[in-house]
Amino acid sequence: MLIAKHQNIIDNAVKANHERTFYAQYPEHPKAYGEEAPAKGETAFKSLLNQPFSRLKQKVIAGWAGEEVSPYTQQPLGITYPVIATDELVKAGRRAGNRWAQLSAAERAGILTETLEKIKDHFFEIAHATMHTTGQSFIMSFQASGPHANDRALEAIAMGYQQLQHFPEHQVWEKPMGKVSVKLEKTFRAIPRGLGLVIGCSTFPVWNSLPGIYADLITGNPVIVKPHPKAVLPIAIVVAAIQQVLEENGQDPYTCQLAADSSEHLITKELCEHPDIALIDYTGSSSFGNYVESLATIGKTVFTEKAGVNSVILDSVKDIDAVLNNLAFSVSLYSGQMCTAPQNFFIPESGVGTPGGKLSFDEVAAKFRDAIIALVNNPKMGAGTLGAVQNDATVQRVKDAQHAGGKVLLSGAPVVNEEFAGARTYSPTVLQVGANDTGIFEKELFGPVILLIKTKDTDHSIALARQMAAHHGAITCGAYTTDDAVKEKIADAMNSVFTPVSFNFTGFIWVNQHAAFSDLHVTGGNPAGNASFTNQEFVVKRFVWVGNRTYMD
């Protein structure tokens, strides 16, 4: 059994989930995977271009579709994927699920960990696929869609493995009743809820999808993976690897299926509303996320990550340059196309405290602007940090933001990428607005748009950041203060609206980053989403405990 092969990995992951210390089964350094792996991965990626993707085990195909365009070359990848009728996907998934549900938690955990080991062999191929569909830089694509995504998947496996063994499978229950007793044999079974649907996004097609996929699979549910039509290849490679391992181990490859579609004929709602879909995981815009959440009224169990308005509260600092360099990187990383990227910076009109006295609002704003300019124009860091913009709508949003109101402190513009002359790039736009300009800063402006908001004082900043999170959602919040009392005040205010706070980050750690086995990605408690990677609720809602009793003479 594969559980014996992988028991150590699973046990270490269960332990890490409990202790919340640093743990990574899959190193984030490319060199950890051997000297030949990068070249092999690039060759494998190039071999997929301009032809049908033929690795999937799915055979009943209605047609082929593909529309991916590289944000770096702005040329089509030319790859098509099998289009399969919704009813066929559902029928095959249900059939496979009946068999998958019969396995024990240990058997499923062993097979699923083996799939991660198989995916590991494709990390560099997936990195190129991610880069040329999302616009992430190569190293970010490698880390986010490779080791970091695998660690998040293992985190879900470990959480499910632990929760599925919460009760004993078998127990003899005896109730004394004077001279006699009643004896029952009791069995406890974790029954999967049914067919799952995981809806992917265009910016993080693997990292955001794997937790839901593996939470479904470890709890005994088959899963249909519906990628964004503009970013199919990275998750298609993953699904193909999963199917291969399933088949090699005597399981039905249709336990995990890819449901590709096209912008002209989207099947997401058709799948969501199908009566046999029991579980839905979604990452993306709040408007569609709200629709997905509404399906709970017709019996669907849904897990969402939507948009949030992420804030940074600046009160006082030890080293203003170190702080602003850190924040400049945070807002520039992948051109702000991260759900964790900070957008609203609340700065008191009296300025920010430093060891040398207060820096005025204008001085802080000027330093922040200069830090962004220095990063963007750095020939070794600028283009690599920004990556490319995934789609034209985001570029237009940045252009429109410059006319949204407020004072333009820095205008975004295309940035030269020496490696890819045709790359779709855009540097951050920085606007200064007042605390009353809620119409500008109370919504997510996805992409490289930064708002510096002048407040009366730190208490006012805290109140506004809290209000944004409560009403519009927040996934992250950064805060800088050297005062312990202010730190507690910020933590209490933001935690009360279910928003985590990252305090005083400088150096090589940024508010954008969430570590598997330690950080909970989205709390599920505010409008930014109703689920969290990966707490117990993320897995226990995918199955139901049922107890049977047998009378014993």
pLDDT (tens, 9 = 90+) of the chain, 553 residues, equals: 799 999 999 999 999 999 999 999 999 999 999 999 999 999 999 999 999 999 999 999 999 999 999 999 999 999 999 999 999 999 999 999 999 999 999 999 999 999 999 999 999 999 999 999 999 999 999 999 999 999 999 999 999 999 999 999 999 999 999 999 999 999 999 999 999 999 999 999 999 999 999 999 999 999 999 999 999 999 999 999 999 999 999 999 999 999 999 999 999 999 999 999 999 999 999 999 999 999 999 999 999 999 999 999 999 999 999 999 999 999 999 999 999 999 999 999 999 999 999 999 999 999 999 999 999 999 999 999 999 999 999 999 999 998 988 999 999 999 999 999 999 999 999 999 999 999 999 999 999 999 999 999 999 999 999 999 999 999 999 999 999 999 999 999 999 999 999 999 999 999 999 999 999 999 999 999 999 999 999 999 999 999 999 999 8
Helix (H) or strand (E) run with residue 484 in it: helix 484-495
Asked if 511 contacts 312 with a C-beta cutoff of 8 angstroms, the reply is yes
State the Cα–Cα distance between residues 444 and 410, nearest whole angstrom. 19
Do 289 and 328 belong together in one domain?
A: no
Q: Does some domain include residue 516?
A: no
Q: Residue 245 is part of a domain; what is its CATH number?
A: 3.40.605.10
Do 396 and 423 belong together in one domain?
A: yes
- From residue 506, alpha-carbon distances to 339, 352, 502, 528 in Å are 20, 16, 11, 26
Do 6 and 36 belong together in one domain?
A: yes
Q: What is the distance between the terminal CA atoms of the chain, rounded to a whole angstrom?
A: 37
Q: Residue 385 is part of a domain; what is its CATH number?
A: 3.40.309.10
Do 330 and 262 belong together in one domain?
A: no
Do 402 and 476 belong together in one domain?
A: yes
Which 3 state secondary structure label does DSSP give 276? coil
Read off the pTM: 0.97
Do 383 and 244 belong together in one domain?
A: no
State the Cα–Cα distance between residues 428 and 408, nearest whole angstrom. 11
- From residue 328, alpha-carbon distances to 168, 333, 365, 515 in Å are 52, 9, 12, 21
Q: Does some domain include residue 234?
A: yes
Which 3 state secondary structure label does DSSP give 251? coil
- Structurally, the chain folds into a number of domains equal to 2
Asked if 278 contacts 301 with a C-beta cutoff of 8 angstroms, the reply is yes
What distance lies between CA 455 and its chain's CA centroid? 32
Asked if 236 contacts 56 with a C-beta cutoff of 8 angstroms, the reply is yes
Of the candidates 269, 279, 150, the residue with the CA atom closest to the CA atom of residue 220: 279
- Parent domain of 143: 2-307+532-551
Asked if 252 contacts 99 with a C-beta cutoff of 8 angstroms, the reply is yes
Counting Cβ atoms within 10 Å, is residue 88 exposed (0-12), middle (13-18) or buried (19+)? middle
